[in-house]
Structure formats: C-alpha cells, structure tokens
Structure 1
Amino acid sequence: MQFKGKKVLITGGSRGIGKAIAMRLAAEGADIAIVGKTAEPHPKLEGTIYTAAEEISKAGAGKVVPIQGDIRFEDSIEQIVKITAEQLGGLDILINNASAITLSPTEQTEPKRWDLMHDINVRGTFFMSKACLPLLKKSTNAHILNLSPPLTLNPEWFGRFLAYTISKFGMSMIVLGLAEELKPHRIGVNALWPKTTIATAAIQNIVGGDMMVQRSRKPEIVADAAYHILQRPATECTGNFFIDEEILTQQGVTDFTHYAVNPAQKLMLDLFL
C-alpha cells in the first residue's frame, strides 16, 4: 500500500490512461478524484465519470470522487480544486492527463480544433497546476505529472502535425518551467510519455481505428510507470521527461508482452519518438 493516505487528482480520469493510473494508485491505497466531461453515456466513448469511479472503487479501499468538469474554464477549475480539497482533505499528486488531439496539416486545421487543443493541453494544464499549488505546497512529497512528450526541435513533428505538436510541447514546456520554479517548494514536476501508441478512445476514433489499436499497448503500462515515478522523492525527481518502457526496465521488467493488445502484431512507436 505504497500510496495509502495519498490524495490524487487526475484530469481525463474517466477512461484510458487516466483511469488506468487511477486504478493502479487506488490499488495501492490512494484516495482519488477523477475529472471528466462525460457524465452521461456517449456512443463513441467508454463509460462516464461515475462508471469509472465504480471501477476504481473496486480496485482499492480508498475514497474515489468523480467530478464533472472542463479544464478549459477557470470557474470549472476552481470548482474541481474546491471539491477535491473538501472531499479528499488535501492533495499530494496532480496528474495532468486530459488532452485533445487533431492530426491535421495546417490547411485542414480549423480554428475550433486549434482552440480545443490549446485550451485543454496548454491552458488547462497550466491553470490546473496553478490552482493546485496551494494544496500541493502543504504535502510532504508533492508531484505534478504531465502526460506529454520529451521536448525536441525535430522539424519532422512540426511539419507533420504543427498545431497538435505545439500544444503537446506546450505541456512539456510547463514541466520544464514549473520544475525549476517549484524547486524551493519541494514539488516534483515531470512528464511521462509512452514508447508505443496506447489503446485509447483517441487512437480508436481519431488516429487509426481498429488496426492501430491492434498495434498498441494497454494503458496499464503507463499506469505502472506512473506508479514508480510518483513514489520517488519529489526533491530528487523533477524536470524529467520519462518514457514508460524505460522506467519499467529500470525496475527490472524484461517482458512487456502482457501489455500488448495483440502480441502477434508489431507495435507502433508513439508520436515524437
């Protein structure tokens, strides 16, 4: 029960990577608040914040709080943090997982898609982090973990998906900046990114459909990596851009077969790697 008594807030926690991390930390005793927009069943999206909360509750003995919210808006962020503080009694870990994706070239990128990606990925991550700082400063081992890629100026990614790349690297620049800014407050700020594509709703519905899903890994590999990162002393672990497989290799894992959706298929490297 490595996380017994720890208070965790996860954006985009109703499915995919966010839910997997919630279930992994709940199994280790953490109290979890998950944030999502889906309160009613959606034809293309798995579950709701309430069905996810039920699953997470079954995975662990801690408290689970589902919060309907939209991190694009300040009043929603304030409400999310207020409910988290009231229901969990504090905060030790913030996981900025919520993200939007559109893989389009510049000529096909609509303003509303640009705005959605930047309002969630960059603006939402920044202001969620800001709003949680007063609570995190009271923790004895506070962490912020962004689901964002290692920073690079490789023109390949800018050339292929300019709008999305800027937004995800914006999340990573937040890691770089906050890690330095928050050192005096002993808050660890890091990024985590999967080596291969992960079978999520975005992969299924936006990126590559069933074929891509078959060449992906399950979200549990990212959850297991997050579990190991978030145990580390915040004062010694900050400003890093971690890759899930590398973290697990450091922990002695040599066989990753069970993480594959279809072990018979060749895995697809994730973007930015």
Structure 2
Amino acid sequence: MAKVDPNGSLRGKVALVTGASRGIGEAIAARLAMEGAKVVCSARTAETGDSKLPGTLHATVDRIRAAGGDATFIKADLSSADDRERLVAEAVATYGPVDILINNAAVTFFIPVETFPKKRFDLMMEVQVWAPFHLSQLVLPSMRERRSGWIVNISSPAGIHPKQPYNRRGGGTVYGMCKAALERFTTGLASEVFDDNIAVNVVSPGLVDTPGVAVHGLINEQTKDRVQPIEFIAEAVYRLASGDPKTMTGRVDYAEPLLKELGIAPSELV
C-alpha cells in the first residue's frame, strides 16, 4: 500500500512542481511527497470553479497531507513574469530554498500553422519555453551556492521530427516546437551547471490519460493501446529528481524505457 515516508530519500528537500492541480503534475507532487519532500504545488486552478477541467491545487495538497505528507500550494499564472517571481519568492519564504524544480505546466492549442494566431503562439512559447527558462534562472543561484539541485522538464514525443509518410492533419506543429526547444534548453543548461553539481533532465511522458489529454481528444481507437499509466511518469521524474547529478544529467528520457534501464517498477501513488 502506498504511503509517505517522512524519512525517505528526499527528506529535507524542497520541491516546486508547476501544473500540479491535476494530471501529471499532481502525480509528480504526490510521488515526491512520498519520499519526504516538502512540496510546493503551483497552477492557475486553486479552487473548484477556477477551471472547466477537474482538479485543483487544494485537492492535490489535501491528497498529500491526508497521506501524511508536507505540501502547500501557491496559485500562479506562469504567463506572467511577476507571478513567476512571486511563486519562487513565496516558495522560499514558506519552506526554504528550492532543491527540486519540476517544469510541468503547459497551455496548448492544436491549430494548423496557416491559421495559428500570434497571440496563442506567444502564450504557448511563454508558458512552455520561457517560463521553465525563467524559473530555472530564479532557482539556480541558490542551487549553485549550495552546490546541489535538480531540474526536470516535462516534454512530449511531439518534440520529435515528423517522419514520412505524412498522414496526419496539421495542428501540433507549435506544440512540437515548444517541446523541442525545451529539450535543447535542458541539455544546454545541464552542460552549463554540471560543475555546480546540478542535474537537468527531461522526462517525456508519452500518452497519458489526463484531463488535458481528454479535452483535446487525443485518446481514441487508434491511440488507446499507447496509453501509459501515470505512475510511470511520476516514478521517472522522481528518479531523475534524486539521482547523482554527475551521472544522471542532460538526459531526454521516455518514462517506461528509463524505468526498465534502472530495473525499477513504478510505485503506487498515495
């Protein structure tokens, strides 16, 4: 049975997880809390009614606390630089310097290039590329000072170049651009902070049954066999957010192959 271990491998660590009101972010927050981390959960949806989608920050934190974990939430809109700065400042004020940053938040529109509006393009780039970049800038000075830190960015197979034969309608190009940029940022930053004992990695979830995936209708008869349990993603993120920064950094990993490489089965979540 899943439980929180207050003396787990992340005891004393502070983790900041964006997009933690539902889906993958909620699962990651729960998994890190199970190992004793103090988890700051962030998203735009704090309470019921803030979004049309199910899930709230309040519910995520209640789930963790009910299992004996330590968590709090800070509502923030990652398209706002002021909110990003406030998020990190409040996280530090609440628990102390951030040891683990999980950049999971996303906003996505599936529209063909020909008709893609600049306003939505800018929003996707702001939330999925610049926000992880900026949040990393905000937590890096403390990580460098302490010579310890882990950053995990959540990507997608959409970042891989399409291959012929082309048999899909357009719509995912901008999403793929964002994820490709995020992956290149990850490997570049990993090289910059390697000597500071800071690990920077990517986990690519594949297709997961989450509220966001459901609203875009991405699970259907053709794709249902590719759906991956959310526990795989949460476990993969935990492993990359706690591994040796000298040997587990600069990686772009798909969750299931990573766990097979490590010989680890995903843990049940609280």
TM-score, reference length from structure 1: 0.84
Query: Which residue of structure 1 lines up, in the alignment, with residue 5 of structure 2?
Result: none
Match of 2:56 in 1: 48
Post-superposition shift, 1:184?
2.6
- Of residues 122, 128, 147 in structure 1, which corresponds to 2:154? 147
Offset, 1:223 = 0.3
Q: Which amino acid aligns with 1:14?
A: S
Structure 2 residue aligned with 1:121? 128
Contact 2:150 2:242 in 1 (8 A): no
Residue 25 (structure 2) aligned to one of 18, 43, 48: 18
Task: Tell me how far 1:155 sits from its aligned partner.
Answer: 5.7
Unmatched runs of 5 consecutive residues or more in structure 2 = 1-7
Residues of 1 paired with 2:77 and 2:219: CA distance?
Answer: 26
Paired position in structure 2 for 1:206: 216
Separation of aligned partners in 1, 2:257 and 2:181: 23
Aligned partner letter, 2:96: G
Distance, in Å, in 2 between the alignment partners of 1:207 and 1:99 is 17
User: Could you say which residue in structure 1 is the equivalent of 2:184?
Assistant: 173
The answer to whether the Cα contact below 8 Å between 2:209 and 2:219 also exists between their aligned partners in 1 is no
Distance 1:60 1:213, change over 3 A: farther
CA contact 1:190–1:238 (8 Å) conserved in 2: yes
Quote how far apart the aligned CAs of 1:31 are: 0.4
**1:141·1:233 contact (CA, 8 Å) conserved in 2?**
no
Q: Which residue of 2 aligns with 1:78?
A: 85
Aligned to 1:36: 43
How big is each residue's C-alpha offset from its partner over 1:193-250, in whole Å with a ceiling of 9 and x where there is no partner? 02x4011122100143676895422322100111222221112221110110111112
Name the counterpart of 1:93.
Answer: 100
Query: After the TM superposition, which of the residue ranges 106-115 and 224-233 deviates more from structure 2?
Result: 106-115
Deviates more, 1:40-49 or 1:240-249: 40-49
CA contact (8 A) 1:103 1:207 kept: no
Cα distance in 1 between the residues matched to 2:222 and 2:39: 31
Are 1:185 and 2:175 an aligned pair? no
CA distance in 2, matches of 1:145, 1:107: 33
Q: Check whether the contact 1:14–1:52 (CA below 8 A) recurs between aligned residues.
A: yes
Higher deviation after alignment, 232-241 or 36-45: 36-45
- 8 Å CA contact 1:92–1:139 kept in 2: the answer is no
Please state if 1:57 is matched with 2:65: yes
Q: Unaligned regions of 5+ residues in structure 1, if any?
A: 260-273
Write the distance in 2 (CA, Å) between the matches of 1:26 and 1:249: 23
Distance change in 2, residues 1:36/1:232 (3 Å): same
Q: State the 1:47 CA deviation.
A: 2.1
CA positional deviation for 1:25: 1.0
Q: Percent identity of the aligned residues?
A: 31
Partner of 2:184, secondary structure, is helix
Cα offset, 1:127, TM superposition: 0.7
Q: TM-score, normalised by structure 2?
A: 0.85
